[in-house]
A and B are shown apart, each in its own frame.
Chain A
């Protein structure tokens, strides 16, 4: 039995319905919401602002403090609030993924605070977080070379699939499941973040990159539309469509 049909009925290269919006947090300098289906992330950006304690300041450039956090109610079993090994690690890699596109030389000795909260989780939370953070940074008027878009590509059994869910992550038959979160820049298509959880044949990696590139281009379109003032909620649209079909 191979993985011939996805568990939620999507095509192998299809994303989950996306929801996205900017300006969700009025008090922040920039903010955004980004959701892949049931995975919902919000991001807030504060700064550049003075950084204390002074020994953390870098006299040559601004620093980025990226904070990733899952809210207790975001998963079915209550997540213990506060930083954990996992959230610190994801915060670090996500921070690296976005800081490489920011022009940090303009306000040396300051800090740009990026906070990402996961409101609801169904796999690829870090990708939703990075997408939201990139939009929030742009919304906060930070000078940056380009945008970033992030997606998780999976290898479920022997199939390369885009934007995997928790159920797919836990797939055990055949070759099992591999999760590869990818972050690509919008203009130069460079990789700013790449992780691998599982196993994959080296020869197949090109397929993964192509799938990621295709998906990131789609995601960038959504980010662009939201930043230009549109509120996007495909979840609602698809429900409407289903209802029409039933009638």
Chain B
């Protein structure tokens, strides 16, 4: 593999990424005669023979197993309808809540407008089911919520949580990052604002090198 092939480049829909019979179409690409054509806007990556496209913008696409942060939209007799910012609204059944809840008044646990950290149990056509049965899930009280581009979430978390742990430790805040781009922050007032600004910096400069150092310098000031 030559050096050139490893490079990533931004492509627009309908653009020919590479041409020739040596290549195979991967995610969000299509083969048209000889050419591998991009099907959406993003970063094209040629690895070996396979050409794939990494999305860099757009709405959150829910997948099974994602931990997300959502706001209660409505309560029903057997669960909660939760807005997680995807193409469909999602449902958290009462049975998926690990602690005892009085069935006659489930808004005692969480009412409209409350924020929860939940996991996606299944994604079916037109509906998403959630669960609370996992570690670290549940209602989030106090603090604030910010929204970032969901495709930048891996950058906010960093390698094995390095970036988010750095921000947490330096600002003395609790932070939960949802895969859907919602981030919950709780701490003292200064810490919270500092963490919001630091996350803003990470999102803004997501592609630059030495980002951890930059954030470190920013947090020291």
Contacts and interface: CB of A to CB of B under 8 A. Distances in A.
A62 to B, nearest CB: 8
A93 interface: no
A79 interface: no
Contact of B57 (A59, A141, A187): A141
Given A49-B87, A110-B88, A187-B37, A142 B12 contact: no
Contact of A138 (B13, B28, B125, B126): B13
Name the residue among B42, B56, B126, B151 with the largest chain A CB count within 10 angstroms: B126
A59 B28 CA distance: 23
A108 interface: yes
A223 B59 contact: no
Interface residues of A, number: 31
Interface stretch (A121-129, A162-170, A224-232): A224-232
Given A29-B57, A139-B41, A139-B57, A224 B12 contact: yes
B58 interface: yes
Nearest to B13: A144
Given A48-B87, A146-B14, A141 B37 contact: no
Interface string B161-174: 00000000000000
Interface string A103-123: 100011110000000000000
A213 to B, nearest CB: 15
B37 A138 contact: no
Contacts of A30: 57-58
Interface in A119-167: 138-147
B28 A143 contact: yes
A186 B41 CA distance: 14
A181 interface: no
Contacts of A227: 10, 12, 41
B113 interface: no
A47 interface: yes
B89 interface: yes
B31 to A, nearest CB: 13
| B39, B40, B151 — most chain A CB neighbours (10 Å) | B40
Contacts of B59: 29, 47-49, 140-141
B98 interface: no
A227 B12 CA distance: 7
Interface in B10-37: 10, 12-15, 28, 32, 37
A142 B87 contact: no
A143 B14 contact: no
A50 interface: yes
A49 B89 CA distance: 9
Contacts of A138: 12-13, 40-41
Interface in A79-104: 101, 103
6 contacts: A50-B88, A109-B88, A140-B57, A144-B14, A145-B13, A186-B14
Given A47-B59, A109-B88, 19 more contacts: A30-B58, A47-B87, A48-B59, A50-B87, A50-B88, A103-B39, A138-B41, A140-B59, A141-B41, A141-B42, A141-B57, A141-B58, A143-B13, A143-B39, A143-B40, A144-B40, A145-B13, A227-B41, A228-B10
